Structure 1
Amino acid sequence: MTNQTKLLFQKQTTDGLIEVCDRHQLRCLNIDAIEQSRINLEQPDQLASPVQRYILACLLFIETPKKVLLGGLGGGALACYLYNRKPEIQGDAVEINEIIAELAKDYFYFPKKQWDIIVDDLRQWNDRNYDLMVIDIADSDLTPAWLTSEKMLLQLKQQLSKQGVLAIDLLVDNAQSFTQALVAIRKVFKRQTLCLSVPDHKNIIIFAFNKPLINYSVKKLTTRVKKLTEIWGLEFPVFIEQLKNDNPDNNGIMSMGKS
Structure 2
Amino acid sequence: MDSSRASLVTYLKLLAEAPHDGTPVVLETERALSLHFDLHATQSLMSRRDPNALVLGYTRAMMGFLLLHPEPARIGRISLIGLGGGSLAKYCYHHLPGAKVVAVEIDPAVIALRETFHIPPDGERFEVVCADGADYVQGREARPDVILVDGFLAGGMPARLGSPSFYEDCLERLADDGVLVANFLEDDEQIPFYLDAVRAAFGEGVSLALSEDGCNYTLFAWKGGAALPPLDTLLARAQGLEAAHPLKLRATARRLRQGRRFATERGWWQAPGRRR
Q: TM-score range by the shorter chain?
A: 0.7 to 0.9
Instruction: Give the TM-score normalised by structure 1.
Output: 0.85
**8 Å CA contact 1:131, 1:163 repeated in 2:** yes
Say whether 1:36 aligns with 2:47. no
Instruction: Give the TM-score normalised by structure 2.
Output: 0.80
Partner Cα distance (2:179, 2:18) in 1: 36
Deviation at 1:100, TM superposition (A): 0.1
Cα distance per residue 1:189-245 (max 9 Å; x no partner): 012111111144332111110222244111111221222112211101111222343
State the aligned residue count: 247
Q: Find the counterpart in structure 2 of residue 70 from structure 1.
A: 80
Deviation at 1:26, TM superposition (A): 1.6
Q: Percent identity?
A: 23
RMSD: 2.6
Q: Kindly indicate which of the two structures has a greater share of residues assigned to strand.
A: 1
Gaps of at least 5 residues in structure 1 are 252-259
Cα distance per residue 1:144-189 (max 9 Å; x no partner): 33222221111111111111101011236455x2211101101100
**8 Å CA contact 1:66, 1:88 repeated in 2:** yes
Map 1:121-136 to 2 at 5 A: 121-125=132-136, 126=139, 127-136=141-150
Q: Kindly indicate which of the two structures has a greater share of residues assigned to helix.
A: 2
**Superposed structure 1 runs of 4+ greater than 4 Å apart:** 5-11
Residue 244 of structure 2 aligns to a residue in which SS?
helix
* Pick aligned residue for 1:111 from 98, 107, 120: 120
Residue 231 of structure 1 aligns to a residue in which SS?
coil
Partner Cα distance (1:97, 1:230) in 2: 35
Q: Looking at both structures, which has the greater relative contact order when contacts are Cα pairs under 8 Å and sequence separation is at least 6?
A: 2
Q: Find the counterpart in structure 2 of residue 152 from structure 1.
A: 166
Q: Structure 1 residues 230-239 or 20-29, which shifts more?
A: 20-29
Map 1:149-188 to 2 at 5 A: 149-171=163-185, 173=187, 177-188=190-201
Partner Cα distance (1:210, 1:115) in 2: 25
Partner Cα distance (2:83, 2:52) in 1: 17
> What letter is aligned with 1:146?
R
Residue 46 of structure 1 aligns to a residue in which SS?
coil
Partner Cα distance (1:99, 1:84) in 2: 24
Residue 248 of structure 1 aligns to a residue in which SS?
helix
Partner Cα distance (1:181, 1:171) in 2: 12
Partner Cα distance (1:232, 1:102) in 2: 29
Q: Find the counterpart in structure 1 of residue 24 from structure 2.
A: 18
Deviation at 1:49, TM superposition (A): 1.4
Q: Find the counterpart in structure 2 of residue 239 from structure 1.
A: 252
Q: Structure 1 residues 80-89 or 227-236, which shifts more?
A: 80-89
> What letter is aligned with 2:115?
D
